[in-house]
Structures are given as C-alpha cells and as structure tokens.
Amino acid sequence: MNVAPAKRYLLLNKPAGYLTTRTDPRGRPTVYDLLGPQGHGLFYVGRLDEDTEGLLLFTNDGTLAFRLTHPKHQVAKVYLARIHGVLSDEDLAQLAAGVQLGPSRTTPAQVEVLSTKGGQALIRLRIAEGKKRQVRRMLKAVGHPVINLKRVQMGPLELGQLPLGACRDLTAAELTALREQGLLEGAHDDRDQ
C-alpha cells in the first residue's frame, strides 16, 4: 500500500536574479538554490520572472496549485511596482478596463498610486490572472515601463516581513484562510499528524 506524502507548503521571498525553474542549462541561479533540501519534491505555484521579487509558493499539493493559478478561480495577486512616469486618469481607466496584449485583453486591474517622486511612481496593482510577464506588459502598454516589481500577495497569503531570499512554512492561520476561501481541501493541518 502506497501512502501519499504529507502535503507541504513553503512561502519564499524571491530575490531578483533567480529563475523560477528547477535547473538552468546555462547555470544561472534558480529558486531551488534558495530552498535547498527542503525544496525536494515541491513545485512552484505561479512563476515570477527573473527580475521580479516577492511571494512565491512551493507545494506538493496539486489541487491547491491549480486553484490558485487557474483563471476560473479569480485568485487575486497583488504587486508593488515602481514605474517610469506618473499614471494619468486615462492610464488608470485603461488598466481598470483591461489592456489589449496581443490577441487578448487582460481582465480589469485595480491600481492605487502610493507615491510619486522624480518622474517615477510607486503603485499597488491587483489582478486576478497571471499571464506571462503580465504586469510588466500591461504597464508598458500604457506607457509606463516597470523599474522594479514585487509580488506581495496571492489570495489570502501575504509576504509580510519575510526577509529577501528567506522561506518559511505556511502558518496554521494561512492554511485556515486558504480552506475558508475554498482553495485548500481538508479540515486539518496535515503537519499535525
């Protein structure tokens, strides 16, 4: 009789300069280099490009991974972006309506301008999909290329004060929040068995 491995959930604060892949044929650093042995048997949920920092979840729970990333579940992803220029009312309206990227239009984004200084702006952007390099492409399409980008939230999971390059297990409260949103199955924390 085969016993399924216990479900595991790790949250990493990914630094820029690391690829979201298991190995790289050119020898560049990957997120698995940061995880070390504790990353064995885990896969990432929602890729971050090499230049993007922030929240990256690892798990061996395929159901949770699917529910967090499939567009039909509309799980919010929140980013902080420093951009060139200052968003106009027209730019904000375009982002809120969805941006045409190639043959498709993005779903609406919620954008809040947090600060402006020296021809740049810091914004908080919330989307419920995750196309390849979507945030960077959306902002470039409205004329405001990204200087730096950080994912700070995925569904109920928040990056908080986790140091750059560090990882931790999800807390019992985070697992409960995932369950309450219908993203995680089960009535208990598998780590307690």
Q: Which residues are catalytic?
A: 49
- 123's tokens: 């914004």
What is the pairing mode between strands 157-158 and 167-169? Answer: unpaired
Residue 10 CA neighbour count, 13 Å, CB half: 23
DSSP state of 126: E
Rounded to 5 degrees, φ, ψ at 167 are -135, 160
Distance between CA 32 and CA 20 in Å, rounded?
8
Running DSSP on this structure, what letter comes out for residue 163? Answer: P
Strands 9-14 and 53-59 come out as: antiparallel
Burial of 173 (0-12, 13-18, 19+ CB in 10 A): exposed
How many other C-beta atoms can be found within 10 angstroms of the C-beta atom of residue 180?
Answer: 10
Burial of 170 (0-12, 13-18, 19+ CB in 10 A): buried
